Chains A and B, each alone.
Chain A
Amino acid sequence: MPTASPLIKLDAVSKHFGEFQALKQVSLEVKRGEKVVICGPSGSGKSTLIRCVNRLEAHESGTIVIDGIKLDENPQNMRKIRSKVGMVFQQFNLFPHLTVLENLMLGPVRARKLSADKARETALTYLGRVRIPEQADKYPRQLSGGQQQRVAIARSLCMEPEILLFDEPTSALDPEMINEVLDVMVELADSGMTMICVTHEMGFAKKVADKMIFMDHGEIVEEATPKKFFAAPESQRCQDFLEKILQH
């Protein structure tokens, strides 16, 4: 499935937060259709890395090129890239004052300039895909965490993105709701979406990942196929980390 040309190309990307260096010369290539799972201890820079991909954080040095467009200060490039790159957040970040349907339609109507009818149609299609078509007229607070996260995924999908970024999408969920979200993500992966997921759900990673990445102290320490990654990671730090999270 993955083709040869990289859809996302990061080259020597660095980023500081004050004194703290969150990313140190990180380079990464993601091909179209590829699924990348990033894990690592907190503060390792994994969230910062994917947040740089749609410029929620601005990188300081190095280059990020997405689908041939260079991500820089140019606001036009930024908007072009953001319309190609969807993001799902740990805290869902749904718009609390809008209904589910309105949450889903806002981007398509305002940014993609779809007609309201077309946007509604798209919204209902994706609500169906995340299996909550009946919640269209509710407000986010009336839904469970798992349902809210699935709405958030549908909201991203309504923008018809080429790439989806997931920033610890199941970390804020009660355990019994994690699977309903992961199931949707597996389906998305099967449909050929290019995905970068920051997650510690290793079962999910084993199932969908084409590439596993372990980050620590702002660096990519290990980059391997899931098979190799879980069986025989090269670095000691990665081995220790996996031991800790796979203990139980």
Chain B
Amino acid sequence: MLVTRPLNKILVLLLPLLLSGCAADWGWYVVNPTTKTGMTNLRFLLSGLYYTVSLSLIAILISVFVGLLVALPGLSQKPYLRRINRVYVELVRAIPILVLILWVYYGLPQVTGLSIGVFWAGVIALALSDSAFQAEIFRAGIQSIDKGQYEASHSISLSYTDMMRFVILPQAIKRILPALGNQLVYMLKMSSLVSVIGMQELTRKANELVVSEYRPLEIYTILVLEYLVLILIVSAGVRWLERRMKTDER
């Protein structure tokens, strides 16, 4: 079941493409693995996978961490701490990711005097942008925990850090897992934007191949499939994690 279901989805999605193939002038030879150039092209396209995956994973890890750090003051009793949270979330959320990527890559080095590589510029931009959403997800998740859990933690004299670490966050994370999975999918897709600053990830590779082979239809179709497979794997992983965390309690 686990293997066949995503496969079915791919087939269903492929169907319109294949049908439209009757009308369009398809030239699959560019990526035909049985020919030498086809294989080389295919390898070239897939070689972007490493950067797409590593960029997204590092960015999501950072954004989860920053998001949590930003969420906590948002839950404080003190108004000025909550204000810090609001300003951060509203400000960062308002910047389009593409604009943030350009700003971090071209602007930040001028401000700081440090030169940032394409990869880290991409990581910073994606992580920053996503952290505002993560902060909101964490805040909602933590707020959904019953106040009795806080009171019980206080009554056994737990410190704030211990209460968060052992009581509140484990329960909150379980609840926000689907939302975190969503963000990871979103991140994988948004990583394609980093191609504009020359990052050699999936989209950039496809663009470059299109320029040399003049077969946008086939190459971009492959690109669609690459993202599709990646994201189906992520979804399956998140569902597996959800099931595992649920069985913990039974």
Partner of A156, one of B156, B158, B174, B248: B156
CA distance A86 to B151 in the complex (A): 11
* B-contacting residues, A46-93, CB 8 Å: 54-56, 79, 82-83, 85-87, 89, 91, 93
With known contacts A106-B166, A110-B166, A95–B158 Cβ distance under 8 A = no
Determine if A107 and B148 form an interchain contact, defined as CB atoms under 8 angstroms apart. Answer: no
* B-contacting residues, A89-138, CB 8 Å: 89, 91, 93-98, 106-107, 110-112
When each residue 153-164 of chain B gets 1 if its CB lies under 8 Å from chain A and 0 otherwise, what string results?
A: 011111100100
When each residue 92-133 of chain B gets 1 if its CB lies under 8 Å from chain A and 0 otherwise, what string results?
A: 000000000000000000000000000000000000000000
In the assembled complex, B143 has its CB within 8 A of some CB on chain A: no
Determine if B151 and A139 form an interchain contact, defined as CB atoms under 8 angstroms apart. Answer: no
Q: What residues of chain B lie closer than 8 Å to A86, measured between beta carbons?
A: 155-156
In the assembled complex, B244 has its CB within 8 A of some CB on chain A: no
Chain A nearest CB: distance from B20 CB in Å?
Answer: 50
In the complex, number of A-B residue pairs with CB atoms less than 8 Å apart: 71
In the assembled complex, A195 has its CB within 8 A of some CB on chain B: no
Which single residue of chain B is at the shortest CB-CB distance from A85?
B155
Which of B156, B158, B162 has the most chain A CB atoms inside 10 A of its CB?
B156
**Chain B interface SS verdict (over half):** helix
In the assembled complex, A159 has its CB within 8 A of some CB on chain B: yes
In the assembled complex, B17 has its CB within 8 A of some CB on chain A: no
When each residue 163-199 of chain A gets 1 if its CB lies under 8 Å from chain B and 0 otherwise, what string results?
A: 0000000000000000000000000000000000000
Chain A nearest CB: distance from B214 CB in Å?
Answer: 57
In the assembled complex, A200 has its CB within 8 A of some CB on chain B: no
Residue count of chain A within 8 Å CB distance of chain B: 29
With known contacts A96-B171, A110-B166, A139–B155 Cβ distance under 8 A = no
Determine if A97 and B249 form an interchain contact, defined as CB atoms under 8 angstroms apart. Answer: yes
Sample 30 A-B pairs with CB under 8 A, ordered by A number: A56-B155, A79-B159, A82-B154, A82-B156, A85-B155, A86-B156, A89-B148, A89-B152, A89-B155, A93-B146, A93-B148, A93-B151, A93-B152, A95-B149, A95-B167, A97-B174, A97-B248, A97-B249, A98-B166, A106-B158, A107-B156, A110-B162, A110-B166, A111-B158, A111-B162, A139-B249, A139-B250, A152-B152, A155-B156, A159-B157
B residues sitting closer than 8 Å to A (CB atoms) are 146, 148-149, 151-152, 154-159, 162, 166-167, 170-171, 174, 248-250
Extra contacts, 15 of them, besides A110-B166, A155-B156 (Cβ < 8 A), are A86-B156, A89-B152, A91-B148, A93-B148, A93-B152, A95-B149, A95-B152, A95-B167, A95-B171, A97-B170, A97-B248, A110-B158, A110-B159, A111-B157, A159-B157
